[in-house]
């Protein structure tokens, strides 16, 4: 067992710290010696050596190992030093510093955390660490001066008290930022009476609360140092919440007028099987399409399946050679009465709209390789039979895995199949190069075929790298979805605007969740912000409890599952405790609330799989809500979607009816 722990610790240092640029041998050796599992909450030991900021209670987290190492290296901590740390937390960082310096003094403002850290440090044998419970912004004047000061929380600026407690030649490292949440890691070096400052890069830390930092309510602490009035986060959320009317009330969609001037509005969901999320997104989409000219509804669905729906809503002829859409697991995600109602509305709305301006329904996702290949070949058969023949040869290497493409990763281990990537990319390139020839036949058909060719090239690579695991397959998938969105906007013209429906894990900016900070994953929301800036609005959704449509295993049967009440340290629990049952929270309107919510909190993610028995480990991640989203839509109790079945079939429905019931 000891060997397993030591190996995990060495891997953490080699992969998450040294590989990311930390070079100080003293720091790396210290990280190899400190038993991080002794400083995490019971039950979290198996995650101790992931580069992840694990929860430690009181809405606080143990810093991720890379940040601890980065700050220790920047502070140039060395043997013989006397070090002050602000924000003891679990005691882990103090233990790392104690492996290098002679004496470490650490301050924690939350008594329960301070006592626990003191016990852990004593049990781990760190007798050169002294811990004080109090206001860290004042420092520890009785023990000053210090050779190095490290502050594990972000303040509006460097507290004067800490500057004054630096020894000549001393180094201070701390994050500094304003109310917007943007923080930079600052290094201050004292030379006589002067202080030299340098910026080391962008970071994200919890707020530095105290006399010379932020007040409890998120405002800057008063200069006269009188205690500021403390409001709880649920109280602040209740004050900022804008109650939502019924879904059919025109006022529901009108609440989102503030985002109507954006190029892209992204609407999330906390699960793939919750009726209220679908109905809310439908109400918002109807408003944006009808009142503000949005023409693109792009969803987390396969392109070929969505294309069949698009032909229905835009009154285009149905393809007679295709199978009904959304036959693949999870069928309930799109074949449900909530989506059906929106599609019928879109079809009716489009009757009075010029063909080129009709609102379309498009899929962004990468999975349905079989359907994409069929669509490309059918198009080429009509416009260029010779090209179709070449394509069939090129796609032949994928044929055995078209309906079960996840197994393709095993096949690419052989030399012959590794050549397939070149073939599908060549086919995609050939199709795109013939744009001028093919566009004359039918612009929409060309867009459909070109996107299918791109999808096949991306999907081949996706299923190949999925075999090896890691962040690369996720990043490929989300990059493909984002690029598909770009192609749609380009195809619909420079004034086109898009609505995106996808899970919160795709919509919320990954840089401000542990997806990005710990696993190196990006997503559509992040890419949209980087591409469109303020012209992208990211809106997340959440719930406390209720029911959800989900499976226990991939390809399993749909079940109506009970959603467990939200975790006590989560975003969802704060919203539940606000007492407002359904609301819109604009995360840019209340600076004090935004600041309070910057510190990492748990957030629940339920996909098509839901396992309540392991919910904390399998369905929660750390997030900074106001940096992840621009707004948050809340429904305290929710219900499962209703999947379409034979009982919903429409007698005498036209052949163009989308789901083939």
pLDDT confidence band for 3 (50 / 70 / 90): low
Q: DSSP labels for 320-331?
A: SSSPPS--SS-G
- The residue ranking higher by pLDDT, 101 or 591, is 101
Checking if the pLDDT of 486 tops 90, the result is yes
pLDDT confidence band for 14 (50 / 70 / 90): confident
Q: What count of residues does the chain have? A: 661
| Alpha carbons 463 and 471: distance in angstroms, whole number | 13
**Statement to judge: residues 598 and 475 lie in one domain:** yes
Q: Which of 221-225, 420-424, 586-590 has the highest mean pLDDT?
A: 586-590
Domains in the chain: how many in total?
Answer: 2
Residue 9: C-alpha distances to residues 5, 38, 50, 73, 463 (Å): 6, 13, 9, 18, 31
Last residue of a domain, one of 203, 224, 254: 203
For the segment 465-492, the average pLDDT, to the nearest whole number, is 83
Q: DSSP labels for 382-409?
A: HH-HHHHHHHHHHHGGGGGGSSSGGGHH
pLDDT confidence band for 457 (50 / 70 / 90): confident
**Statement to judge: residues 183 and 250 lie in one domain:** no
Query: CA quadruple 648, 652, 656, 661: dihedral positive or negative?
Result: positive
**Statement to judge: residues 109 and 169 lie in one domain:** yes
pLDDT confidence band for 406 (50 / 70 / 90): low
With respect to residue 179, please indicate whether it lies within any of the assigned structural domains: yes
Checking if the pLDDT of 560 tops 50, the result is yes
Checking if the pLDDT of 438 tops 80, the result is no
pLDDT per position as a tens digit, 518-530: 778 899 999 999 9
For the segment 370-390, the average pLDDT, to the nearest whole number, is 76
Q: What is the CATH number of the domain that holds 518?
A: 3.40.1660.10
Which pLDDT score is estimated for 424?
Answer: 65
Which pLDDT score is estimated for 413?
Answer: 54
Helix, strand and coil in the chain, % to nearest 5: 45, 20, 35
pLDDT per position as a tens digit, 179-216: 545 688 999 999 887 899 888 877 778 889 998 998 86
Last residue of a domain, one of 141, 174, 203: 203
Eight-class DSSP state of 520: -
Which pLDDT score is estimated for 229?
Answer: 40
Query: Encoding tokens for residue 392?
Result: 């069939």
pLDDT per position as a tens digit, 282-308: 999 999 999 999 999 999 998 888 988
With respect to residue 383, please indicate whether it lies within any of the assigned structural domains: yes
Q: What is the CATH number of the domain that holds 44?
A: 3.40.50.150
Which pLDDT score is estimated for 1?
Answer: 47
For the segment 469-494, the average pLDDT, to the nearest whole number, is 87
Last residue of a domain, one of 185, 203, 221: 203
pLDDT confidence band for 653 (50 / 70 / 90): low
Task: Write down the pTM of the prediction.
Answer: 0.65
- Domain range holding 483? 240-642
**Statement to judge: residues 245 and 198 lie in one domain:** no
With respect to residue 631, please indicate whether it lies within any of the assigned structural domains: yes
With respect to residue 35, please indicate whether it lies within any of the assigned structural domains: yes
- The residue ranking higher by pLDDT, 314 or 404, is 314
Which pLDDT score is estimated for 529?
Answer: 96
Checking if the pLDDT of 512 tops 80, the result is yes
Mean pLDDT of the chain: 86
With respect to residue 223, please indicate whether it lies within any of the assigned structural domains: no
**Rg of the chain's alpha carbons, rounded to an integer?**
27
Report whether 293 contacts 302 (CB < 8 A): no
Of 628, 608, 614, nearest in space to 567 by CA: 614
Checking if the pLDDT of 222 tops 50, the result is no
Checking if the pLDDT of 53 tops 70, the result is no
Separate counts of helices (H) and strands (E) for the chain = 26, 20
Which pLDDT score is estimated for 599?
Answer: 80
**Statement to judge: residues 186 and 304 lie in one domain:** no
Which pLDDT score is estimated for 518?
Answer: 75
Checking if the pLDDT of 420 tops 90, the result is no
**Statement to judge: residues 289 and 148 lie in one domain:** no
Which pLDDT score is estimated for 225?
Answer: 39
**Statement to judge: residues 182 and 272 lie in one domain:** no
The reply to whether 63 belongs to the active site is: yes
SS3 365: strand
Report whether 611 contacts 303 (CB < 8 A): no
Neighbours of 542 (CB within 10 A): 29
Checking if the pLDDT of 554 tops 90, the result is no
pLDDT per position as a tens digit, 128-169: 999 999 999 999 999 999 999 999 999 999 999 999 999 999
Residue 5: is it exposed, middle or buried by C-beta count within 10 angstroms (0-12/13-18/19+)?
middle
Report whether 461 contacts 477 (CB < 8 A): no
Residue of 52, 63, 473, 570 marked catalytic: 63
Out of 90-104, 302-316, 383-397, 611-625, which region has the weakest mean confidence (pLDDT)? 383-397
pLDDT confidence band for 217 (50 / 70 / 90): low
Checking if the pLDDT of 403 tops 70, the result is no
**Statement to judge: residues 154 and 299 lie in one domain:** no
With respect to residue 235, please indicate whether it lies within any of the assigned structural domains: no
pLDDT confidence band for 236 (50 / 70 / 90): very high
Percentage of the chain lying above the pLDDT 90 cut: 56
**Statement to judge: residues 325 and 471 lie in one domain:** yes
SS3 138: helix
| Alpha carbons 406 and 384: distance in angstroms, whole number | 31
Checking if the pLDDT of 372 tops 60, the result is yes
The answer, yes or no, to whether the previous bond of 646 is cis (omega within 30 of 0) is: no
With respect to residue 354, please indicate whether it lies within any of the assigned structural domains: yes
**Statement to judge: residues 6 and 125 lie in one domain:** yes
Which pLDDT score is estimated for 398?
Answer: 58
With respect to residue 42, please indicate whether it lies within any of the assigned structural domains: yes
**Statement to judge: residues 254 and 109 lie in one domain:** no
**Statement to judge: residues 570 and 625 lie in one domain:** yes
């Amino acid at each position: 067992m000891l060997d397993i722990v030591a190996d995990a610790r060495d891997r953490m240092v080699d992969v998450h710290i040294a590989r990311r640029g930390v070079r100080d041998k003293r720091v790396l050796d210290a990280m190899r010696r400190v038993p991080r599992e002794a400083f995490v909450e019971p039950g979290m030991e198996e995650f101790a050596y992931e580069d992840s900021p694990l929860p430690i209670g009181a809405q606080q987290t143990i810093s991720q190992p890379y940040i601890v190492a980065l700050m220790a290296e920047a502070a140039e901590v060395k043997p013989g030093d006397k070090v002050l740390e602000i924000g003891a937390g679990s005691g882990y960082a103090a233990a790392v510093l104690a492996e290098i310096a002679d004496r470490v003094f650490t301050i924690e403002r939350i008594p329960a955390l301070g006592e626990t850290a003191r016990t852990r440090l004593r049990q781990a044998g760190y007798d050169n660490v002294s811990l004080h419970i109090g206001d860290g912004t004042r420092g520890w004047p009785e023990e000053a001066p210090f050779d190095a000061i490290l502050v594990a929380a972000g303040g509006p600026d460097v507290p004067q008290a800490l500057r004054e407690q630096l020894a000549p030649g001393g180094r201070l490292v701390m994050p500094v930022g304003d109310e917007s949440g943007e923080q930079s890691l600052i290094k201050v070096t004292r030379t006589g009476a002067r202080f030299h400052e340098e910026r080391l890069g962008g970071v994200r830390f919890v707020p530095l609360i105290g006399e010379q930092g932020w007040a409890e309510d998120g405002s800057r602490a008063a200069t006269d140092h009188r205690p500021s009035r403390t409001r709880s986060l649920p109280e602040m959320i209740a004050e900022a919440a804008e109650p939502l009317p019924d879904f059919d009330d025109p006022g529901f969609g009108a609440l989102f007028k503030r985002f109507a001037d954006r190029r892209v509005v992204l609407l999330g969901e906390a699960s793939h099987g919750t009726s209220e999320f679908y109905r809310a997104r439908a109400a918002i989409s109807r408003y944006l399409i009808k009142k503000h000219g949005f023409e693109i509804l792009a969803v987390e669905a396969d392109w070929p399946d969505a294309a069949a729906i698009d032909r229905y809503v835009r009154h285009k002829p149905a393809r007679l050679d295709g199978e009904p859409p959304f036959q693949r697991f999870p069928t309930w995600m799109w074949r449900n009465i909530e989506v059906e109602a929106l599609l019928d509305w879109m079809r009716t709305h489009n009757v009075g709209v010029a063909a080129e301006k009709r609102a379309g329904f498009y899929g962004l996702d990468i999975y349905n390789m079989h359907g994409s290949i069929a669509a490309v070949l059918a198009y080429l058969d009509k416009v260029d039979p010779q090209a179709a023949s070449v394509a069939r040869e090129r796609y032949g290497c994928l044929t055995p895995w078209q309906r079960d493409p996840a197994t393709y990763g095993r096949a690419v281990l052989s030399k012959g199949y590794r050549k397939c990537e070149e073939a599908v990319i060549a086919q995609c390139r050939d199709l795109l190069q013939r744009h001028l020839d093919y566009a004359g036949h039918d612009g929409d058909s060309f867009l459909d075929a070109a996107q299918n060719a791109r999808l096949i090239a991306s999907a081949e690579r996706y299923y190949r790298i999925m075999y090896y695991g890691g962040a690369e397959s996720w990043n490929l998938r989300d990059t493909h979805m984002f690029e598909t969105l770009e192609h749609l906007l380009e195809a619909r013209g420079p004034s086109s605007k898009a609505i995106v429906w996808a899970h919160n894990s795709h919509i919320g900016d990954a840089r401000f969740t542990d997806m990005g900070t710990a696993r190196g994953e990006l997503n559509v929301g992040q890419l949209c912000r980087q591409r469109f800036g303020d012209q992208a609005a990211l809106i997340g959704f959440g719930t406390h409890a209720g029911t959800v449509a989900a499976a226990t295993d991939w390809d399993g049967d749909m079940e109506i599952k009970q959603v467990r009440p939200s975790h006590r340290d989560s975003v969802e629990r704060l919203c539940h405790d606000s007492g407002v049952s359904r609301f819109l929270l604009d995360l840019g309107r209340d600076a004090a609330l935004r600041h309070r919510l910057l510190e990492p909190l748990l957030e629940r993610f339920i996909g098509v799989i839901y396992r309540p028995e392991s919910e904390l480990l399998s369905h929660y991640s750390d997030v900074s809500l106001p940096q992840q989203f621009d707004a948050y839509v809340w429904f305290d109790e929710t219900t499962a979607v209703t999947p379409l079945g034979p009982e919903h079939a429409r007698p005498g429905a036209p052949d163009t009816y989308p789901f083939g019931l």
